[in-house]
Homo-oligomer: A and B are copies of this chain.
């Protein structure tokens, strides 16, 4: 399966120990960032030829791409390596494109949720809204911000396939990854729509919340990136199935951890004001479990506070107490542990190349850590 055309780089092309793995992880993040910077530079030049006033678009994107954990590119990269392939700059470029897709999802999501901040800074639509205000332009600043954010998200989405399929990998490899690539995009948008419906209908069921997790998070953030890497490598069915089992379980664990952080997390780490998920009325598994086990009085309080944009610190504290008192928090922590164990077991049963095992184990461990 190893083509001689791919040039192994010494830094990553060995079975890493735990210490070396951390250095490799940092190295991969740097390389992904480098690929993104080079790509955005080219796009900025192209936009400038349309009009020099477009500079703010690339500026906002650069700022957004500066943050983030680069989780999806990491899974994509290790999906490729786990199929027994050597390190390859072109694969790093291809998986870096997943950050552009994520940028589109984030930018449009923040418009849809009216989120003020992202990763500790103003969200893109707020950034452009402020630009409008500072410049004293005519018309409504919020509308201008929304318009600019919709367009920048669209650019990111168009650039995702441009970067992925322009990575320089052989056409046959890209061709094999195409169905998964298409599947991933439609799945995510479909999952986002279900999420929107779930909030509108207010179903609040644990089953409904878990289905949203599967499409918005597990498949999109873990399973599909791993499988994309494997498909580029030309991997066979057993490895793709192993990645599916590992990815679905671990992706659920990640999202459940994220939901816990959204309610109990440190704003410094989450980059969002404490309790923002509660103000948005997110129908998470954590909230659904609390609703299911709450007394009538607790239920009324939850109903009143969830989705209240003006929810203050006392309100946030009240909801937190209910989530702890009903046992919902303990239950979600149990679920995270179980999912992570399932992921690790699936990995052990898969024909994954040893060079990727340490990295994939470490990525699994990261989900179980309580960070508050």
Cβ-neighbour of A151 out of B57, B146, B162, B193 (below 8 A): B193
Q: Are B54 and A155 in contact (CB under 8 A)?
A: no
Q: Which of A65-73, A180-188, A319-327, A357-365 contacts B (4 or more CB under 8 A)?
A: A180-188
Q: Give chain B residues whose Cβ lies under 8 Å from the Cβ of A157.
A: 154, 157-158
Q: Are B186 and A139 in contact (CB under 8 A)?
A: no
Cβ-neighbour of A189 out of B112, B151, B201 (below 8 A): B151
Q: Give chain B residues whose Cβ lies under 8 Å from the Cβ of A194.
A: 50-51, 53-54
Complex CA gap A182/B182 in Å reads 17
Q: Are A155 and B189 in contact (CB under 8 A)?
A: yes
Q: Are A201 and B137 in contact (CB under 8 A)?
A: yes
Q: Are A202 and B158 in contact (CB under 8 A)?
A: no
Complex CA gap A178/B260 in Å reads 43
Cβ-neighbour of A175 out of B132, B144, B155, B171 (below 8 A): B171
Complex CA gap A71/B254 in Å reads 46
Cβ-neighbour of A138 out of B161, B171, B200 (below 8 A): B200
From residue A152, how far is it (CB to closest CB) to chain B in Å?
A: 8
Q: Give chain B residues whose Cβ lies under 8 Å from the Cβ of A158.
A: 157, 161, 182, 185-186, 189
Question: Which one of A162, A183, A215 has the highest number of Cβ atoms from chain B below 10 Å of its Cβ?
Answer: A162
Complex CA gap A201/B281 in Å reads 36
The 0/1 profile, CB within 8 Å of B marked 1, for residues 33-59 of chain A is 000000000010011001101100100
Q: Are B211 and A51 in contact (CB under 8 A)?
A: yes
Mark out the residues of chain A between 215 and 235 whose CB falls within 8 Å of any chain B CB in the assembled complex: 215
List the B residue with the shortest CB-CB distance to A161.
Answer: B161
Determine if A307 is an interface residue (Cβ-Cβ < 8 Å): yes
Q: Are A190 and B51 in contact (CB under 8 A)?
A: yes
Q: Are A186 and B144 in contact (CB under 8 A)?
A: no
Q: Give chain B residues whose Cβ lies under 8 Å from the Cβ of A138.
A: 199-202, 307
Interface SS of chain A = helix
Q: Are A200 and B139 in contact (CB under 8 A)?
A: yes
Q: Give chain B residues whose Cβ lies under 8 Å from the Cβ of A155.
A: 185-186, 189
Determine if A16 is an interface residue (Cβ-Cβ < 8 Å): no
Question: Which one of A150, A178, A196 has the highest number of Cβ atoms from chain B below 10 Å of its Cβ?
Answer: A150
Q: Are A190 and B47 in contact (CB under 8 A)?
A: yes
Q: Are B211 and A144 in contact (CB under 8 A)?
A: no
Q: Are B143 and A191 in contact (CB under 8 A)?
A: no
Q: Are B147 and A112 in contact (CB under 8 A)?
A: yes
Mark out the residues of chain A between 48 and 106 whose CB falls within 8 Å of any chain B CB in the assembled complex: 50-51, 53-54, 57, 104
Q: Are A196 and B50 in contact (CB under 8 A)?
A: no
Q: Give chain B residues whose Cβ lies under 8 Å from the Cβ of A246.
A: none
Q: Give chain B residues whose Cβ lies under 8 Å from the Cβ of A159.
A: 186
Determine if A111 is an interface residue (Cβ-Cβ < 8 Å): yes
Q: Are A57 and B193 in contact (CB under 8 A)?
A: yes
Determine if A165 is an interface residue (Cβ-Cβ < 8 Å): yes
Complex CA gap A79/B55 in Å reads 33
Q: Are A196 and B151 in contact (CB under 8 A)?
A: yes
Complex CA gap A137/B197 in Å reads 9
Q: Give chain B residues whose Cβ lies under 8 Å from the Cβ of A114.
A: 143
Going nearest first, the 9 A-B pairs with the smallest beta carbon separation are: A50-B190, A137-B200, A112-B147, A158-B185, A162-B182, A51-B194, A155-B189, A47-B190, A138-B202
Chain A interface (Cβ within 8 Å of chain B)? 43, 46-47, 50-51, 53-54, 57, 104, 108, 111-112, 114, 132, 135, 137-139, 143-144, 146-148, 150-151, 153-155, 157-159, 161-162, 165-166, 171, 175, 178, 182-183, 185-187, 189-194, 196-197, 199-202, 211, 215, 281, 307
